[in-house]
A and B are shown apart, each in its own frame.
Chain A
Amino acid sequence: MRPGPGGCCCRRTVRANGCVANGEVRNGYVRSSAAAAAAASQIHHVTQNGGLYKRPFNEAFEETPMLVAVLTYVGYGVLTLFGYLRDFLRHWRIEKCHHATEREEQKDFVSLYQDFENFYTRNLYMRIRDNWNRPICSVPGARVDIMERQSHDYNWSFKYTGNIIKGVINMGSYNYLGFARNTGSCQEAAAKILEEYGVGVCSTRQEIGNLDKHEELEELVARFLGVEAAMAYGMGFATNSMNIPALVGKGCLILSDELNHASLVLGARLSGATIRIFKHNSEFAAEFTAVYMRIYIFFSCFASMEGSIVRLPEVIALKKKYKAYLYLDEAHSIGALGPTGRGVVDYFGLDPEDVDVMMGTFTKSFGASGGYIGGKKELIDYLRTHSHSAVYATSLSPPVVEQIITSMKCIMGQDGTSLGKECVQQLAENTRYFRRRLKEMGFIIYGNEDSPVVPLMLYMPAKIGAFGREMLKRNIGVVVVGFPATPIIESRARFCLSAAHTKEILDTALKEIDEVGDLLQLKYSRHRLVPLLDRPFDETTYEETED
């Protein structure tokens, strides 16, 4: 049971900027009352030209056209009816049954599982299963080699033809800065450390698993983020699910974004706190009818399916208004956003001290595995003793640690080259170019202009399979997603851009996407951007969009 507010100070993070002033948030601007003008936080906001955002924040989620929605339902309806028909045929042995069923002797007992729960898998997923879990046989950088496979029984089983499709453009890996390589300085350093330290430590951090490499990594991460201290963990998912129960307990309130990742949700659930969920990126004016010990706001920086970026300045203003703590999950945005690659805080030009708990993973931009939590030294010291992961989970493997250290030093520019800076800039350019060109072609693209995750809307279930297959025929590997992973009328193809993609690769991909878009009639957008407009759309551009 956690102590109350008067309890041990090591359990609470103390902010450097003192207590919260009474400000109001109106129209995105923070106005401070006279008595609180001295508080450093308010002046910090007001000096930004009176606004919270230093740059235009362009995010768009164009609504589904009605005709497309109706046709999507027709598609799912037809598939459902055919699914029932096929189930009927399979039941009466007219058609061969490929999936697992109970044995004849067991039919009289209570059924082991509900057949209907696999209706979707049997009748919809199986038809287009060849778009997922494609086996690769090379390092998944900007290009990847995929093993060709064929199915003679409508995707129930696959046979390898023996061919390898070489050089498929990889638009599915979270390889934002291009560190998914098996050559280069990172690989050499990791190989050297492998020979020195071995593969793993087989122990937890608190027993004998704490290496000098781990301390070096944590000190580097803290410097990278601009926080006082940091702690690294072996698994990104576990960073959230194991540390949130250590920080939050019964009697606390968690305000959680709708699109938060499963790890945040699991950690929140394990902690036993009261949880309230709010719609993605919407303002909320909550009335607290109960008294809570601590209030936490959980945010993921990138909703990885939507490509939207959290409105961090507003969230921080809100956090100060309610005297809450902010827990920011930067799994995707660390390394990918911001002029120096330091994540969403860097992107908005804010102070890292405003975020109480900065969490991130090393899996996406750093080409490694694991996660970290950064914050005040007191917080991290507390986590070192109380985190479930520190007590029970094995610590990071040394070659992985070395990979993270090398890649992070590269991004920071400390290895003597400007490779890191170039990668960050290349990613930003790739993102803007790719999104702009897709919008010009007339596709509906969700999300923020600066987000390297680009969801392209497909809507109809048949187009999910068609898009994946047509793109593979043209040597491009994409990830497609449909219901129930997305809302029923919002199936999409998700492109993940990388600094490893050169402009030629992007141009090839765009040309093929254009072709497939015409073939499958995917150009649903009703807002066409004028192609000549090179600067971002702001209040001074008038008759630029044709509606």
Chain B
Amino acid sequence: MAVGSRTGPGSECQDPDWATERDPSPRPRARGLTQKTPTTNSGGGSRMNVGTAHSEVNPNTRVMNSRGIWLSYVLAIGLLHVVLLSIPFVSVPVVWTLTNLIHNMGMYIFLHTVKGTPFETPDQGKARLLTHWEQMDYGVQFTASRKFLTITPIVLYFLTSFYTKYDQIHFVLNTVSLMSVLIPKLPQLHGVRIFGINKY
């Protein structure tokens, strides 16, 4: 496998445009250039790129579409719930509220707070300031994974409201938590940083 340098001085053609909407059909899409450049840094250890198997510029964008991840996600919520249920002296409504809160907090942290990619990508850091939600499918809105990740907290919210018997305090907590997880997912808030929080 040849060792290539980072992107050359060529003109930008059809690069993934993060903010526009595009049809994610599998037919020839205007997805722009994908590049796999196996760089080897000698200093701190090279990456595991012994030549890439796919020309995906940012593998993070495809993680939520991979086989079995939705099922794993649902199972993880179930596991969290079961673990919380096994704590003694905690009532069922509290357990459900805790599940909802912890799930939404985790979702907020991993999808809407952590920015960039855990590995170096050959796109010169286009995704460095973007959260995982914004990176998904290269910014295309209303894809299947995005819909799934929007619906899951809502379904969890319904279940929680039912099992807490619509109690007022639980309602307030759960609703605030749901809003904190739904509002960042709106397409209007793509790339928006309120009061400059989490900008860099």
Q: Using a CB–CB distance below 8 Å, which chain A residues touch chain B?
A: 63-64, 66, 69-70, 72-74, 77, 80, 99-100, 110, 114, 116-121, 125-126, 129, 132-133, 235-237, 241, 245, 255, 258-263, 265-266, 268-279, 284-286, 303-306, 363, 479, 481-490, 492, 494
| Given contact pairs A117-B118, A265-B36, A269-B8, A69 touches B68 in the complex (Cβ within 8 A) | yes
Whether A69 contacts B72 by the Cβ 8 Å rule is yes
Query: Closest approach, in angstroms, between the C-beta of A120 and any C-beta of chain B?
Result: 4
Q: Which of B10-34 contact A (CB under 8 A)?
A: 10-11, 13-14, 26-34
Contact pick for B47, options A73, A77, A121, A245, CB 8 Å:
A121
> With the chains together, A276 CA to B38 CA distance in Å?
22
| Given contact pairs A66-B67, A268-B33, A484-B59, A255 touches B8 in the complex (Cβ within 8 A) | no
> Chain B: how many interface residues by the 8 Å CB criterion?
59
Whether B72 contacts A486 by the Cβ 8 Å rule is no
> Please, which residues of chain A bring their CB within 8 A of the CB of B38?
262, 485
Whether A272 contacts B31 by the Cβ 8 Å rule is no
Taking CB as reference atom, which chain B residue is nearest A80?
Answer: B118
Query: Closest approach, in angstroms, between the C-beta of B74 and any C-beta of chain A?
Result: 10
Task: Name 7 extra pairs, CB < 8 A, besides A260-B55, A494-B50.
Answer: A66-B68, A73-B68, A118-B120, A126-B45, A258-B55, A261-B2, A487-B59
Whether B33 contacts A275 by the Cβ 8 Å rule is yes
Whether A266 contacts B7 by the Cβ 8 Å rule is yes
> With the chains together, A26 CA to B120 CA distance in Å?
43
Contact pick for A481, options B4, B10, B28, B48, CB 8 Å:
B48
Whether A269 contacts B71 by the Cβ 8 Å rule is no
> Which label, helix, strand, loop or mixed, suits the secondary structure of the A interface?
mixed
Contact pick for B11, options A241, A272, A481, CB 8 Å:
A272
Taking CB as reference atom, which chain B residue is nearest A494?
Answer: B50
Whether A259 contacts B54 by the Cβ 8 Å rule is yes
Whether B10 contacts A269 by the Cβ 8 Å rule is yes
Whether A69 contacts B14 by the Cβ 8 Å rule is no
Q: Using a CB–CB distance below 8 Å, which chain B residues touch chain A?
A: 1-4, 7-11, 13-14, 26-38, 43-56, 59, 62-63, 66-69, 71-72, 75-76, 114-120, 125, 128, 200
> Please, which residues of chain A bring their CB within 8 A of the CB of B2?
235-237, 261-263, 363
| Given contact pairs A117-B116, A485-B52, A266 touches B62 in the complex (Cβ within 8 A) | no
Give 28 CB contacts A-B under 8 Å. Answer: A69-B69, A77-B76, A99-B44, A110-B200, A114-B125, A116-B114, A116-B115, A121-B45, A125-B45, A125-B47, A129-B45, A237-B3, A241-B4, A259-B53, A261-B36, A261-B51, A262-B52, A265-B33, A266-B10, A268-B33, A269-B35, A277-B28, A286-B27, A305-B51, A481-B48, A485-B50, A487-B56, A488-B59
Whether B13 contacts A269 by the Cβ 8 Å rule is yes
Contact pick for A272, options B1, B10, B67, CB 8 Å:
B10
Query: Closest approach, in angstroms, between the C-beta of B179 and any C-beta of chain A?
Result: 26
Query: Closest approach, in angstroms, between the C-beta of A57 and any C-beta of chain B?
Result: 21
> Nearest 10 CB-CB pairs, A to B?
A69-B68, A305-B53, A237-B2, A119-B118, A270-B10, A120-B119, A73-B72, A484-B59, A486-B53, A120-B118
> With the chains together, A489 CA to B9 CA distance in Å?
34
Whether B51 contacts A304 by the Cβ 8 Å rule is yes
Taking CB as reference atom, which chain B residue is nearest A238?
Answer: B2
> Please, which residues of chain B bring their CB within 8 A of the CB of A275?
13-14, 32-33
